[in-house]
Structure 1
Amino acid sequence: MLETPSGGAGPGTAAGDGAPPGGSLSIGAVLRLLREEFPEVTVSKIRFLEAEGLVEPERSPTGNRRFAPGDVERLSYVLRMQRDHYLPLKVIREHLDALGRGGTPRSVPAPSREPAEPEVTAPAPTVRIARGELLAVAGVGEEELAVWEAYGLITASDQGTYDLAGAAVAQLLAGLGKHGIEPRQLRAMKTAADRQAELVERLVAPLRRDRDPRTRARAESTAQELVGLSVRLHAALVQSALRPRGD
């Protein structure tokens, strides 16, 4: 069953206290409503989601977009699935179609509510997102993405697409950038991550070479456990370094 994070409206529910029960809204009014839960959303993002067919607002006689409350609910749902689950628009569209038919979309994992112990899951290897979609998910432009790629912080496939882990990295880089942290300042973190990945690979390589399928399957779960422990250790080390020495 699809789990929607608490505090937000899913499709087919009330959009929130700021939305009128009837009538239509301008794109500016929709932006103000959405920013209560999604502070980083922009008019460009709303227009992109419209262009992708995730929402279809009506047009006034003068050509202005007019959004119904249901459109705001759909936008909230899309943004929530991107933020909490890093789902590509193709998958989100399938969820919305299933809900529109009265069906049940395939489940997604609930987002972690324990920031001190983040849950790390392997990205689905068959799910890829296009460059434009990555830009929309991260809320950045071509210039920022080009700089990230130049510093090796994010890498596209030979086909120019990105996996779900890349989408997560892009969102985190965008968040750090808003606090003035530049890509060049993150090169040491990228180097440390690469070395940690090499260490994990060396530890699980013997399991992956085993003939027993169960042992090879255990290699993947072991790798994910090691990644999770590494992430938690990094967070703990940073928190420890920031603690006043007198504590």
Structure 2
Amino acid sequence: MSSAVRARHEQSAPEPWPRGVPRDPVMSIGQVVEALVGEFPAITVSKIRFLEEQGLVSPTRSGSGYRKYSRADIERIRFVLIQQRDSYAPLKIIGDQLRALDAGHDVEVAPTARVVTSEGHVVVPPNRPSLPARDLADLTGTDLGTLERYARFGLITPDLAGYFPSRCVQVVQLLLTLEQEGVDARNLRPVRSGAERNADLIDQTVSSQRSRQRAGDLERATSRATELGELVADLHREMLRVSLAQLNGTSRQPSR
């Protein structure tokens, strides 16, 4: 590509997302953590470095090699953290979303669960690792008796204090839908057992990486576990489709 053509291409290419946000590299990585920790208490320097390794943010390097970040860099990091927190999206998907935004496309962001109140406090499940049974019932539109029944079947499990993982919101919603379609919930325990076996398999796969205790290794292992979980879920879905197709094919065989 000639220099003239390259120059025209660069002029026509859209500005990377977010647009209209200052790109002066004036902040250190420590200042970025300070800017985000109020909204994301778990943010760390190693987390930001890991996002750079994954190509999700590209800070400028000073002459002495130090990372320097702009307001636009902070907005990209905030987008990644929000997607992880609110929609549990793996980094591969988030990277695809950022590339689409860079290219000028709109990205549909998964909605968060509605806000409820618990003992006078506002509760947003994606921001909390666990929920009391009452909040879980309110968010899913069911009652405590139904939750107790699901727990008795081994489909959801509270901790010793009676709190459920916030991800149980989606689990309960799916269980309710399956029951509406005529599936007996007590027969779904093997699905939970299979998920636990798959989680153990994934944990064993990434455990060696998690145990290194170097900066960024925990984030890398967590991200890899999420990616492997998505792949296993895809495999399960496709195998289920194959099995259903085989059953349907058998049911259509003429009797002899």
Q: Which has the larger radius of gyration?
A: 2
Which has the larger strand fraction? 2
Larger helix fraction of residues:
2
TM (norm. structure 1) is 0.49
